[in-house]
Amino acid sequence: MTKPLENRIALVTGASRGIGRAAALALAAQGAHVIAIARTVGGLEELDDEIRKAGGSATLVPLNLKDFAALDRLGASIFERWGRLDAFLGNAGTLGVLTPLGHLEPKVFQELLDINVTANWRLIRSLDPLLKQSDAGRALFISSTVARKPRAFWGGYAMSKAALESLALTYAAECEGSAVRVNLFNPGGVRTAMRARAMPGEDPSTLPRPADIAPVIVDLLSPACARHGELINYRDL
């Protein structure tokens, strides 16, 4: 039986753990060849082992998203091998430090911009021609509730996610008239290491697991998805 994403090429950032890892596994399970990007080689190799055990395939790309020149080269490498990209999940992100704005160190502020915003912009520049070579290119960016409902001490992270939302929705507007569909996805609280750092007193058993939300991500990256230019909240589905 043909799988829904058979012969599709999907790129996932932050693929070695959390939501990115779960999404990569789910995409591969539906037939996509996954280009998995993360800093940690060990985590990528473990992901690859699991994908292959389930009969899927992946290409591992150990990469720091702050290496902007490497992000610029990525699109050319994908074009040389596949000639297109069918799905892009901009998942990787950093929490920074939860602290009053006046105490936020400049280097932490800059890293929030570099990873949560600039890296996604560089990836749009690098991958947009490839997505437009697909018959149904799909791009999805992971956002957060604090992007639109800021809270005390979360200013750095909230600022970066608000900027990401503006970036993604602008890109969506620029893709009107093409076969590319671009959306934002807010998963809400999910049982991840980042969430545990942000909310150390929270009972993780009250939260959905990354694997619980991965099917929604797969649907939003599938050719059948017609949604475009939207912020989609997991809890509204």
CB atoms within 10 A of CB 44: 23
Q: Is the pLDDT of residue 100 over 80?
A: yes
List CB contacts of 35: < 8 A, sequence separation 6 or more: 9, 10, 11, 12, 58, 59, 61, 78
Percent of the chain clearing pLDDT 90 (strictly above): 96
d(CA 167, CA 224): 24
What pLDDT digit, counting tens, does each position of 171-220 carry? Answer: 999 999 999 999 999 999 999 999 999 899 899 999 999 999 999 999 99
Predicted pLDDT at 2: 83
Q: Point out the residues that are catalytic.
A: 157
Residue 111 and residue 96 in contact, taking contact as beta carbons nearer than 8 Å: yes
Residue 134: DSSP 8-state: S
Predicted pLDDT at 98: 96
Q: Where are the alpha helices (DSSP H) in 2-136?
A: 18-29, 41-53, 68-81, 106-113, 119-131
- By residue count, the chain amounts to 237
What pLDDT digit, counting tens, does each position of 121-162 carry? Answer: 999 999 999 999 999 999 999 999 999 999 999 999 999 999
Model pTM? 0.97
Which two structure tokens, joined as six digits, stand for 156? 């750095």
Q: Is the pLDDT of residue 1 over 80?
A: no
Give per-residue burial for 192-201: e unless 16+ CB within 10 Å, then b.
Answer: bebbeebeee
Q: Which residue has the tokens 């569909």?
A: 181
What pLDDT digit, counting tens, does each position of 11-35 carry? Answer: 999 999 999 999 999 999 999 999 9
